[in-house]
Amino acid sequence: MGSSDERYNMLGTAFDLLLVILGFGFIVFIHELGHFLAARWAGIRVLAFAVGFGPSVLTYRKGVGFKNTTSEPQYLQQLRNSMDAAVTAQTPEAQALAQLHRRISPTEYRLNILPFGGYVKMLGQEDLNPTATSAAPDSYQTCSPWKRMVVISAGVVMNIILAAILFIIVMMVGRQVDAPTVGYVEATSPAMRAVDVGTGASIPLQTGDRILTADGKEVRAFDDVMLAVAMSKKNEAVTLQVERPGAPSTLNLRVQPEENLSTGLLAAGFTPVNSTKIAFELPMFDLPKGSMLLSVNGKPASDGHAIDTAAHASSGEPLIAKFSLPDGTPKDVTLTPVAELQRGLVAGTTKDALTPIEHLLGLSGVLRVAGVRAEGSGKGIKAGDVVLKVGTIEFPSTVTGTREIRSRKGSTVDLTVARKNEAGAYTIVQLPAVKVDRDGRVGFDASDSSEHLPIIAAPLAVIMNAKMESRVPSAASSNVTAGSSIVAVNSDATATLRDVALRVRQAVQRGETNLALTIRRPVAGDLLAQGPDEVVTIAISPEDAEQIKSLAWTADLSWQAFEIQQQTMKASNPLEALHFGYDETKRVMGMTYLTFARLAQGTVKIEHLKGPIGIAHLGTLVADRGFIWLLFFLALISVNLAVINFLPLPIVDGGQFLFLLYEAIRGKPVPVGFQNGVTMVGLVLIAGMFLVVTFNDVRNLLGI
């Protein structure tokens, strides 16, 4: 049995999933209601109005009542009887039909077992069977083409109206969004190569820059910026209008996005700004969640990046960060800046994924426990433990260790850790059969040992740079092995991998390209024992040398420990909310069509699309943020459903509309043979797309 917290989380997720399913069902209901009302207006006989697919669980027909199965056979039998009676009495069929429909409705309302989807079944109209025609006076075929266009379009129109209404409600209530302000900027990212639109001068983006527009369109939230960058044309720059604190006027900067190797989307290399509020408990600094950063070295802190800014300019001198604890108690934290490491990407913890990792010439620290979560399943694990063995993998990096743990979801894993005793010395602690939960976690936040020990994980063989080119870092081709400790660089003693980084940077700045590393290799059978000193020479490549020269100082308490700065997006009056609803609906429609264009160009890939499973999973995450976020999510889905339904594919509304347009212009319908052919092609395309996105959804959920 799981803990009470786990059961509570599972119940919460199940409830969120139920809300998403009901919300999606409501969107489909509104879409089909549009078709239904338009068909009734046009005088077309509606045989069924269904929400969901598959067998019916509940039906209603006027004159029959509620049933747990379809009443269609009963209606058809009475229809045949009525027509036979009309022939016998020599009365018009239309009169007999009217008399029948006064007793029993031709329309059956169905709730089907599969909640995703729905349909309106009209006499003489079946998307998948163009030959299912009817010559009855109230059939789909006998209705004029322009009225049928209205019927076909009505579902899409209703979805757009629903989305606009939901956006208006969201804007009237207001929702919390990430502020469109720049936080962390990656050292070698496109954001650091931004140039002034007018002069061409280099003006890198920096922390605190507030983005006002992206390619001339107003930015209301940080997501708007990321979306504009991700949806930009390949090899074309994005123009950002930026308000910089202290600058006399706004800046117009051109940024050339590049593919982010972790996500596969175009990105500019900066994150939203972080607030001064600690996001989670930090036991190593005795700072509880919710603590507020007030100042660093006496300078007031306006955001969570103040510590990093001070560390970069510190030359390694200690920093004093003043905090206010949640209860108002003041607290000073002394931080010692450490030398930055290089950053790269390696094969991640899931298939085809790339994960960022800190390293030095391809060397990284081993997996370390940064903090233990209260709800964690890994009993016996303590903050500060250095993981020397995970399963059969010795001296794992954060990536290899996490990958091995995740491969044992729902099972157990043996851990061997090095733990400091009261005297400050490390001792071996065996943790057999540590429980791994269903999500592949053992209940601790991972870091590495680079700030605590000189011990290294297996050297990284390949790092991918921003141009999708692979290279072998300088140390990866050396004979430095996993578990080795680097105790000196060119005879200068080192106690941690961060010390090594400082010595290497000093040597590179002096123009040295060959380094002598003094290492001690592990002794077989004892993970903490070390062999004699051994000197290994490493030749530093020009690319590594360039990166190392750009390294600065960083603090062990970084911007990542702080909550992202939020702001409330809310209309001041109903008219403004109406304007926002219109703008947002139009923007989302445009972005949906643009996504298909970017798919064709290759900047958006098929794995970025989500099917029903992925949408449901994403919906539960959004619903967990609150009901307003759920309404916003459903508005997005409603717009996307409208756009997809009006694509020029035969089995959706857009394809049917094109057929009707042809019929209105030519005066005769599209040949049935042609309709059958393109319907099959459309069905294959959509079925293929459904299978691909569902496969990706399942793979992402399972982490494989």
Q: How many domains does the chain have?
A: 3
Residue 670 and residue 610 share a domain: yes
| Residue 339 to residue 364: CA distance in whole angstroms | 14
Cβ-contact 378, 443 below 8 angstroms: yes
> In the numeric block, which tokens belong to residue 245?
């604190």
Mean pLDDT of 24-45: 90
| Residue 310 to residue 313: CA distance in whole angstroms | 5
Instruction: Write down which residue in 540, 560, 580 finishes a domain.
Output: 560
Q: What tens digit of pLDDT does each residue of 643-655 get?
A: 888 888 777 888 8
| Residue 549 to residue 509: CA distance in whole angstroms | 7
φ/ψ region of 701 (left if φ > 0, alpha if ψ in -120 to 50, else beta) reads alpha
Mean pLDDT, the chain, whole residue set: 83
Residue 272's pLDDT band, with cuts at 50, 70 and 90, is very high
Residue 613 resides in a domain:
yes
Q: For position 116, what pLDDT does the model report?
A: 66
CA 155 to chain CA mean position, Å: 29
Looking at residue 327, which CATH number applies to its domain? 2.30.42.10
Q: For position 12, what pLDDT does the model report?
A: 58
Q: For position 468, what pLDDT does the model report?
A: 47
Cβ-contact 448, 365 below 8 angstroms: yes
Residue 492 and residue 379 share a domain: yes
Q: For position 466, what pLDDT does the model report?
A: 45
**Site of tokens 């429609």:** 589
Residue 474 resides in a domain:
yes
Cα 376 to Cα 195, 501, 620, distances in angstroms: 47, 33, 22
Residue 614 resides in a domain:
yes
Residue 489 and residue 462 share a domain: yes
**Site of tokens 């005793």:** 421
Residue 555 and residue 478 share a domain: yes
Q: Greater confidence, 337 or 135?
A: 337
Residue 662 resides in a domain:
yes
Residue 154 resides in a domain:
yes
Residue 586 and residue 524 share a domain: no
Mean pLDDT of 459-478: 64
pLDDT exceeds 60 at position 481 = yes
Residue 510 and residue 381 share a domain: yes
Residue 633 and residue 509 share a domain: no
pLDDT over 90, % of the chain: 27
Residue-number span of the structural domain to which 287 is assigned: 274-339
Instruction: Write down which residue in 501, 530, 560 finishes a domain.
Output: 560
Residue 8's pLDDT band, with cuts at 50, 70 and 90, is very low
Q: What tens digit of pLDDT does each residue of 514-528 get?
A: 899 999 998 887 888
Residue 585 and residue 549 share a domain: no
This prediction has a pTM of 0.72
SS3 content of the chain, % helix, strand, coil (to 5): 35, 30, 35
Mean pLDDT of 54-61: 89
Instruction: Write down which residue in 295, 324, 339 finishes a domain.
Output: 339
**Which of 453, 450, 486, 447 is CA-nearest to residue 339?**
450
Q: What tens digit of pLDDT does each residue of 137-172 get?
A: 888 888 999 999 999 999 999 999 998 999 899 989
**Which of 374, 367, 312, 372 is CA-nearest to residue 340?**
312
Residue 584 and residue 626 share a domain: yes
